[in-house]
Chains A and B, each alone.
Chain A
Amino acid sequence: MTQPIDESIYTAVTVAIQAEAQRILSEGLVTAVVGYASARRKGSTQPIVITDAALAEKLIFTPACVNNLAVYLTKAKKEIPKTGRIGIVVKGCDLKALVGLMGESQLKREDLYLIGVPCIGVLGSIIQPDTAFTSDSIAPKCRECDAHLPLGCDFVPSQQPITPELEKKYAAEIDRLEAMTPAERWAYWKEQFSKCIKCYACRQVCPFCFCEQCLCDRNKPQMVETTPRPAGNFAWHIVRAMHLTGRCAGCAECERACPMDIPLNLLNRKMAKELKDLYEYEAGFEVNAKGPLTMFTEKDDQSFIK
């Protein structure tokens, strides 16, 4: 049954974000603040970079603030000058990406001013941004969120996020896929990947896809077929899932951004589950210099060496 979700705390959260952004910009603590602003369509928002304290009043937070803004701080996003300290509005899931980027020496904590959002969740899709915020329209990632209050930020508005108990959809879907035979699973992904158009929205919104030249854009030699055909589509999505294993913390932006509705985060959640089972490792909680796939310990399973 569809339950409305009370989003009223976002009104006070918006006011607090505006005041803090105004303060840190006018006191010169930061050179810019990356946040969300409202846009033309009813309920719509878009990322914005503010450098003038007078424009802090443009910042908002609503269930349509879906983007993981961490993507704008990576070296792949050259348009945003990385000079001085930068303020950024982060949800708990976005913060996990920043933690990962710090662990990979892409960002330094002292260069960031983190404005955390007490978060009750966001919409799963903003194709219709004025969709009512309910137990149906909430993003699947928010149903299993363990970071409603981001930890270790420089500022977090005082509102307490009160969230309803919701069924975990990814966990259920992974169970369903694991119960399939390999042939059935292959058929499932074959159908999903048949829709892939190689627009690379999944890659471009991903904070961890910061390679200045993606392996999949190389043509000498060509590692992955660039054509949107079964071979190249499978190769692309599998390469990407492997590359994100132990790094992806589940912001699910790839899945939201996919214009063809391919459930990409399922691949990432499955890999995260494997890492938890094999190495008791979860991405995004601590600034680890090395993840389980980039280091060796004697405790590692070596049974595959025959």
Chain B
Amino acid sequence: MKTYISEQNLNTLLDTLIAEGKRVVAPRMNAGTPLYEPLASADELVTDQLPKRSGKEAFFPLCEDIMSYEKEGQKVSITDIDPARFPETVLVGVRSCDAAAIPVLDAVFSWDYKDEFFLERRKKTTVVGLACTMADDACFCTAVGLSPAETRGSDLFLTPVEGGGYSCETCSEKGEALVKSYTALFAEACSSKALPLAEPQTEKIDLQKVKGWLDNHFEDPAWDSIATRCVGCGACAFVCPVCHCFDIVDEGTEKSGKRRKNWDACGFWKFTHHASGHNPRDQQPKRYRNRIMHKFKYYDDKFGETLCTGCGRCIRLCPVGIDIAGIVEEISKK
């Protein structure tokens, strides 16, 4: 079903949700940097910039407590975090590449082990996607089979139209429920034309061919020429909408503390460092190889698709100019 919402009514919707105590997460500026963060009011919404980090943190935060402990004398008490307390959330203004990432993460977090932290937040979140009207030469959603108009992962999908406002497409029961609850703010589908959508310039990549090469080239001199330059930071993984590795640490004193879950990255030397001192990925090209293998082979082996939505963040933000779109394109031509 298609409806229409004006910019003003969208703001009213967000302010109403906030007033009702819902967590509204959307692109906003934090000290000069666009990020998906909880809004204090709809005025903070920024729709003309791609946030520097993806929307995944609405379900999979950068850092979260998973339990706390206290010790008094000989008595130790442990308190679990109660996921039932996670707030109802509306994630708004999510670009197609970020929204499409959500089902990719669902598969991982509900596979053999059900991650209740992720799944509870996911259950309580309605995703309002936004069609993408601007691309730069780091964007490559179309190369990995998605598009700026991709509705996958969205419950409600907004497309900006000429003259202002958005055409709204309901894509799920959650999206339908949102429109129904605030039906006065939505109008009949308008006849205005959609604004021209972004046109990423990268050509479609044959991902099966890429996987075919990866299946047989775990050892290959190409890894050195690709990744000797990699300096081993976690920027690419941390800004990625689908990277999902995490580490668990205990922090506190002898008396009290917390167990926390933090994002981790396969680019880090420490990622595969064994207690014995041995490190099977002892050099950076082996670590970068894992990044490519996980995205274009291992995830595909397990879940039948690619662990990359072509958002281009890792390309823009790699300190040494490593360009995953260029690398995968090269591999597809081998």
Q: A-side interface residues toward B, CB under 8 Å?
A: 39-42, 44-49, 67, 71-72, 77-80, 126-129, 191-192, 194-195, 197-201, 203-205, 217, 219, 222, 225-229, 253, 256-257, 259-261
Q: Are A259 and B249 in contact (CB under 8 A)?
A: no
Shortest Cβ gap from B164 to chain A (Å): 28
- The answer to the question of B30 belonging to the interface, with a C-beta cut-off of 8 Å to chain A, is yes
Q: Which residues of B contact A77 (CB under 8 A)?
A: 231, 284
Q: Which residues of A contact B319 (CB under 8 A)?
A: 67, 201, 204-205, 253, 256-257
Shortest Cβ gap from A93 to chain B (Å): 16
Q: In the docked arrangement, what's the CA distance between A256 and B249, Å?
A: 29
Shortest Cβ gap from A123 to chain B (Å): 12
Q: Which residues of A contact B232 (CB under 8 A)?
A: 204
Shortest Cβ gap from B65 to chain A (Å): 9
Residue of A nearest to B57 (CB): A197
Q: Are A226 and B238 in contact (CB under 8 A)?
A: no
The 8 Å CB contact of A227, one of B52, B137, B251, is: B251
**Segment among B153-161, B178-186, B262-270 that sits at the interface with chain A:** B262-270
- Which of A40, A46, A48 is most buried by chain B, counting CB atoms within 10 A of its CB? A40
Q: Which residues of B contact A191 (CB under 8 A)?
A: 30-31
Q: Are A201 and B235 in contact (CB under 8 A)?
A: yes
Shortest Cβ gap from A87 to chain B (Å): 16
- The answer to the question of B76 belonging to the interface, with a C-beta cut-off of 8 Å to chain A, is no
Q: Are A127 and B316 in contact (CB under 8 A)?
A: yes
- The answer to the question of B62 belonging to the interface, with a C-beta cut-off of 8 Å to chain A, is yes
Q: Which residues of A contact B262 (CB under 8 A)?
A: 198, 226-228
Q: In the docked arrangement, what's the CA distance between A46 and B31, Å?
A: 29
Q: In the docked arrangement, what's the CA distance between A80 and B231, Å?
A: 11
**Given A41-B137, A227-B251, does the pair A197, B228 have CB atoms closer than 8 Å?**
no
Q: In the docked arrangement, what's the CA distance between A261 and B53, Å?
A: 12
Q: Are B249 and A219 in contact (CB under 8 A)?
A: yes
Residue of A nearest to B258 (CB): A227
Q: Are B320 and A47 in contact (CB under 8 A)?
A: yes
Q: In the docked arrangement, what's the CA distance between A255 and B229, Å?
A: 19
